[in-house]
Amino acid sequence: MDWADELAERVRDAGPQVVNDSKTPSGTVHVGSLRGPVILDAITRALRANGIATTLLYGVDDMDPMDAQALLTPDAVETEMGRPLFQVPDQEDDGHASYARHHAQTFIDTFAGLGIHPDRYYWMSDIYPTGDMDPFIRAALDKAALVREIYRRVANVQHPDTWHPLSVVCENCGRVGTTIVTDWDGERVRYECRPALVEWAKGCGHEGWVSPFGGRAKLPWNLEWAAQWSLFGVTIEPNGKDLATAGGSRDRSDAIAREVFEREPPLNVPYEFLNIGGKKMSTSKGRGAAAHEIAEVVPPEQLRFLFLRHRPNHAIDFDPDGTDQIPRLFDEFDKFAAATAGREVRGDLPPGYEATFRYSLLDPEADVATEAAAFRPAFGHLAMLIQIPEVNVVERVEVEKGSPLTDRERAILDERAVAARAWLEAYAPESARLTVQHDIVPPAAAELNEDQRAFLASLADRAEGDPPTSGDAWQAMIFDTANEASLPGKRAFEAIYRAFLGRTNGPRAGWLLASLDPVFVRERAREASGWTQAGGKPGPLPVGG
Ligand SMILES: [Zn+2]
Ligand SMILES: [Zn+2]
């Protein structure tokens, strides 16, 4: 990901940088909405790595009106729709001061879990009462005609000539989503709380004149956004492509920043979405695409990597349900780590892979060389090991590594084992779940063809004496044995699955055999082959029932 370092190069002589993002705290955080925060954090790390003083800000837009009926209890819909989020009571009885605080906490916790620690969180419900927004409210009201003209020119949105860019918190009913300002005398605004202004909330009909300052009103989103840029001196603000369309939210706010608040808007780094494949994501096995649910299966460094291994302008398709995408994500991460450590890897690597690995690490201060060199058990292999009751996973992994694990490697193993269990439970395809048939030769072995039996017999012979210890070595032996007998690899694997698992598919066969006691592997292969040590001819297959 050389793009973040390229960005640092662009702003190198522009002085200290302020990176900003903000979010409305309503509802659950979808995993896709983590792409922005991860990009922001990577930019911040890249700027700092390039010696540029950088502040990372994150705003909570909790003056926004409650507009999601589905997220309220039925009796709260009537009273709460249209009120500022920071004044809506928490719908769950778990100690938060408001609905906004509850949902903001979810994403603050999620960010922290991903190693994202903004220098400051700001809450718009705290900012407005300080009066800091008042100059922007005044400018917006004084230039209301210009704002209307900008909406018309940039977005083709036509507001009536009496429309003013402000929403008053109704003094009678407390709603902010239902009010419209129709006049401004330089100190006070005239507003109406209209029953039918929006469909999702019903205003009370109150009207009057009020001072718009000190938290009694809020700017509409496009103006509030541009005001945040001025107030906090924002220099870089990436946003999702949904806001970056022609005439869209970003264009409007850019124009308002320039023409109303007279400041150049921040640099944009537009980013594409993460598409979660398959509608079943939301329902099957009770798993959704909520960030905290994905985070139970994908540890923070792999989740950061998911977002950072593609440039921001590339859409990411992520379909973990019933696929091997999560194991492949780990494999890809391990490949970047190996390459960063200077080891040879198979396949291509994108330019800037070292930076991608570095910025995927949880701890920005981590020693990249040590992290890259750490031994990481392949996720798919681990997912299999943990399903075989008699396997001592740590011992097994140490044999693969060839030496004892360091404390850090042990921590990586433990984290992956937890992730693999969660993956098996929540997302894994059936073929990844297995039960080794220890006691009897499975009935499925009765359907082995002669050439498959011969293959199993040769495999048993080869494993005599000094059997392989690693999954890779077993895999190589399987291929060699199959090649010698001119048996296609696919049929060789099928023979192993039938003999050991009692079915026709399964995880990587080399890993499977490496996980098992070599004596058992040898005996079972021989037994299933129908060959006897003494006989040398296929005999009747001893099949249990
Ligand atoms: Zn709560
Ligand atoms: Zn009202």
The ligand placed nearest to the CA atom of residue 194 is: 2
Distances (CA, A) of 327 to 296, 332, 341, 400: 14, 9, 21, 18
**CA–CA separation, 227 and 261 (whole Å):** 7
489: which residues sit within 8 A by CB, 6+ positions away?
A: 478, 479, 482
Span from the CA of 137 to the centroid of ligand 2 (angstroms): 21
Spell out the SS3 assignment of 184-238.
Answer: ECCCCEEEEECCCCCCCCCCCCCEEEECCCCCCEECCHHHHHHHHHHHHCCCECC
DSSP assignments along 22-53, one per residue: EE---S--BGGGGHHHHHHHHHHHHHHHTT--
The ligand placed nearest to the CA atom of residue 91 is: 1
The DSSP bridge pattern shows strands 167-168 and 120-123 to be unpaired
Residues with C-beta atoms within 5 A of ion ligand 2: 170, 172-173, 193, 204, 206
Span from the CA of 321 to the centroid of ligand 1 (angstroms): 29
Span from the CA of 199 to the centroid of ligand 2 (angstroms): 15
Kindly provide the residue ranges of all beta strands, DSSP E only, lying in 240-346, ordered along the sequence: 274-276, 316-318
Tokens describing residue 494 = 């099928």
Amino acid at 110: T
**CA–CA separation, 236 and 271 (whole Å):** 13
Nearest to 221 by CA among 325, 65, 362: 65
Angle among Cα 478, 482, 485 to the nearest 5 degrees reads 150
Span from the CA of 166 to the centroid of ligand 2 (angstroms): 15
Cβ count near 450 (within 10 Å)? 10
The ligand placed nearest to the CA atom of residue 96 is: 1
The ligand placed nearest to the CA atom of residue 178 is: 2
The ligand placed nearest to the CA atom of residue 105 is: 1
Tokens describing residue 416 = 């992956």
The ligand placed nearest to the CA atom of residue 104 is: 1
**CA–CA separation, 129 and 190 (whole Å):** 20
Query: pTM above the 0.85 mark?
Result: yes
Cβ count near 29 (within 10 Å)? 22
CA atoms 81, 83, 85, 88: torsion sign: negative
Span from the CA of 65 to the centroid of ligand 2 (angstroms): 13
The ligand placed nearest to the CA atom of residue 88 is: 1
H or E element, residue 414: helix 407-426
Cβ count near 345 (within 10 Å)? 15
Angle among Cα 21, 25, 29 to the nearest 5 degrees reads 85
The DSSP bridge pattern shows strands 274-276 and 179-184 to be unpaired
Helical residues (DSSP H) of 114-156, grouped into ranges? 124-130, 134-142, 144-155
Span from the CA of 209 to the centroid of ligand 2 (angstroms): 13
As a residue count, the chain comes to 545
Q: Which residue has the tokens 């005609």?
A: 145
Span from the CA of 103 to the centroid of ligand 2 (angstroms): 25
Span from the CA of 95 to the centroid of ligand 1 (angstroms): 5
Span from the CA of 105 to the centroid of ligand 1 (angstroms): 8
**CA–CA separation, 70 and 145 (whole Å):** 37
Nearest to 310 by CA among 318, 322, 321: 318
Span from the CA of 82 to the centroid of ligand 1 (angstroms): 20
Span from the CA of 168 to the centroid of ligand 2 (angstroms): 9
Span from the CA of 294 to the centroid of ligand 1 (angstroms): 21
448: which residues sit within 8 A by CB, 6+ positions away?
A: 456, 495, 498, 499, 528, 529, 541
293-298 contacts, C-beta under 8 A, 24 or more apart = 293/31, 293/426, 294/31, 294/320, 295/31, 295/110, 295/113, 295/114, 296/422, 296/426, 297/326, 297/419, 297/422, 297/423, 297/426, 297/427, 298/326, 298/329, 298/419
The ligand placed nearest to the CA atom of residue 98 is: 1
| Structure letter (DSSP) for residue 430 | G
**What pLDDT score was predicted for residue 438?**
87
**What pLDDT score was predicted for residue 281?**
41
Span from the CA of 72 to the centroid of ligand 1 (angstroms): 13
Span from the CA of 291 to the centroid of ligand 1 (angstroms): 17
Span from the CA of 62 to the centroid of ligand 2 (angstroms): 19
Pick out the chain residues at pLDDT < 50.
Answer: 279-286, 533-536, 544-545
**What pLDDT score was predicted for residue 539?**
53
**CA–CA separation, 348 and 33 (whole Å):** 29
Radius of gyration of the chain (CA): 30
| Structure letter (DSSP) for residue 271 | B
Tokens describing residue 371 = 């992290």
Tokens describing residue 358 = 């570095």
Cβ count near 268 (within 10 Å)? 14
Q: Which residue has the tokens 């995927």?
A: 360
Cβ count near 284 (within 10 Å)? 14
Task: Provide the terminal-to-terminal Cα distance of the chain, rounded to the nearest Å.
Answer: 56
Span from the CA of 94 to the centroid of ligand 1 (angstroms): 4
The ligand placed nearest to the CA atom of residue 169 is: 2
Span from the CA of 203 to the centroid of ligand 2 (angstroms): 5
The ligand placed nearest to the CA atom of residue 103 is: 1
**What pLDDT score was predicted for residue 124?**
98
Span from the CA of 270 to the centroid of ligand 2 (angstroms): 38
The ligand placed nearest to the CA atom of residue 168 is: 2
CA quadruple 274, 276, 282, 285: dihedral, nearest 10: -120
**What pLDDT score was predicted for residue 335?**
97
Span from the CA of 132 to the centroid of ligand 2 (angstroms): 25
**What pLDDT score was predicted for residue 531?**
62
